[in-house]
Structure 1
Amino acid sequence: MSRAPDPALRPALAGAAALCAVIGLARFGYVPLFPALVAGGWVGGGEAGALGAINFTGYLAGALLGPLVGLRLGTRRALDAGMALAALSFLASALHPAAPWGFPWLAAWRAAAGLAGGVTMALVGPAVQAVTEPARRGRAGGLVISGVGAGVVLASLLVPALVSTGGLSAAWAGLGLAIAALWAFAHPRWPGAPVAPSTAAPATGPTRAPASLILAYTLSAAGMAAPMVYLGDLAARGHGMGVAAAGLVWAFFGLGGLLGTLSGGRAADRLGARAMPLWMAAQVAALAAALLPHPAAVPIAALLSGFSGIGISAVALARLRAATGADTARHWSRATALYAGAQALTGYALAVLFAWAGDAHAPVFLAGLVLSLAGLIVARRED
């Protein structure tokens, strides 16, 4: 006789579905679409890179506005609004060939998708932590962030199939419908009231997050901008492997993300300050692998990129919770905003570099490696 799902994990499952939709699909689903958009003539290589940077900017705005939106609408309604906007952004992008605005049309909706992701990421992790018993918070946090990796895997399967059967418009629309389905699953399971004070961590005054933790997390974001936008294109056009291969490579990224997040929360609970350097070391190895000339290195780079780039959010959330207790939501919102800001600035710089280099990938991934090395050095000093 099968066991029913643990009711205490219902909010975490809702959070996982939300991040699967607004980050795994709405944000990272763009990576396997990148080479198909260029090959289909919708945008040029530089414009495709700029769309990735614009999405980062929308994510930054959402991370900054998330606490305010949550305060005005309530967390549950704010999460509903984020998922609705994410679905709408993809359905609207499917209309691109019929729209007279071309690149600006896609840019506006990629910004909207980023906004939805930033609001949701800023709110859902702390909301789930607040309704989860302290002993289960590491597991719950890892489960929530694992939704990102699951979404990446789903996108890697859906995008090549949709592009090959129905074209780019079908791919955009299919992802939009998948986001809507995940919203329908998550809505009745949204986090409710926080756990009773008797089972929660003791209330304290405002606390200070470890500065080195926040800085390392920010540098991780900057270093990961390269694989989070260009990894699929590196496989498809850089190594001549084709659009289908880009989807397969992105599946490795998602699988790595699942491993990194499901283990990240527990590792942070058990290893403490030693967890962050481990995840940053994996990121350095990922960027180094992306620079290797052989195509066989790309799946390795993808797996390590997902493990570190997505998993580090679970590590950082758990470390912040341990350091700041009941003040986690405020610090996580700031950490998410800094993460988003670093990726937005780096994303624009990389788009310019990519266009200047004639769509050459090596300079982009070399920049990511340097930033990741800086993050590793800082992570080793976490206080």
Structure 2
Amino acid sequence: MVTAVALWSLKLMPGQPEAFIIPNDLKVTNIALGEAIVEENGRTSVKMTYTIPGVSNRDDEDKDANGDAGTDPITGTTILCSLTPGKIEQATVNLILDEGIEIQFEAVGRNILYLTGNFVEQTPAHAHRDEDDFSDDDFSDDAYNLEGARSDVENDPDSEELEDDSAYACKLELYPELTSIYSGIQVTAIYSGVQEIEPPPTSKKRPRDIMDSDESKLFNLEKPSNKKLKAINGEAIPTSQKNVDLEAAVKKEKDKEVKAGADKPKLKVETKELAGGVEIMEHKVGSGPQAKNGDTVSVRYIGKLQNGKVFDSNTKGELFKFRLGAGEVIQGWDVGIVGMQTGGERLLTIPATMAYGKKARSGIPANSNLIFEVKVVNITMV
């Protein structure tokens, strides 16, 4: 019986033989062309040269002076398969190579080949004994003498507790090297197709104690420290006094935060309505002289419809300049920007009658109220 235990593969390049000694019993199962075809109409073969060491080729009478028979290796060469692109691109083989054999694989052709297989474990020969191989001693009463043997069912099934854990073990005393302990659970390794799990060792702790200890580890709970705090004079501070001091310190910090928040000036954002229904909201008050009619004002702005869609903007590049009150912009601007200072920011809400009215513009439907975010960058006084 052959059991696969590990995958094996080999890439054969044309003109580059691969020679090695088989480290473990190996079974080659498939040979296929590589992903890149160099010669589409050419045939590539797999040539195998092998050397089997340690095979006796002498009779008993040919033993040397020391009584040992000579051993000469057996060598040979064969072709495992031949592959042609578009016709035969892979071949299934069933080749088992024993450990210790010297092997050389060679791709004879111009295409790359891949060999695939797996390392195997072969059942020992004594596992398949014929009937003739058994002697009468194998069937004698002594061969089946179970006196002193330990049974897994010796204990009374009605008993509340088992005398030992033998019912869960897989005869660990026979295979101690197959036993491993992991995370507190003792598990026997797989042997002859059977896997048994042994229960964890019983604890003398009560279930509640175990649960408490596990929770303490899980949540990293610690017992309160009994170490007493000392005051400046070196005297111990009572526990009750320590709690009071802690609460007082926390309350003091909260009071500071509340007071600091109360001391901060609150910015009142109010909407002011001007002539023609133009509404303004100061976001930031600038500095310097206030803009008046006749001054040249340089601004940045973003224009939006009431649904939030941006139809025009000037946020980079050359500033937008106009003379305030000269009719160079819509009426809402001439009214809404008066009084702004350099660095000031203001939100203008302009009704359609102070904008483009019934006329539709690019991106602006007729009778649209407009919203502008305006920042004054510079004012040139007249």
> TM-score interval w.r.t. the shorter chain?
under 0.3
Could you say which structure has the higher strand fraction?
Answer: 2
Bigger relative contact order (CA 8 A; separation at least 6)? 1
Query: TM-score, normalised to structure 2's length?
Result: 0.18
Question: In terms of Rg, which structure is larger?
Answer: 2
Query: Where is the helix percentage greater, Structure 1 or Structure 2?
Result: 1
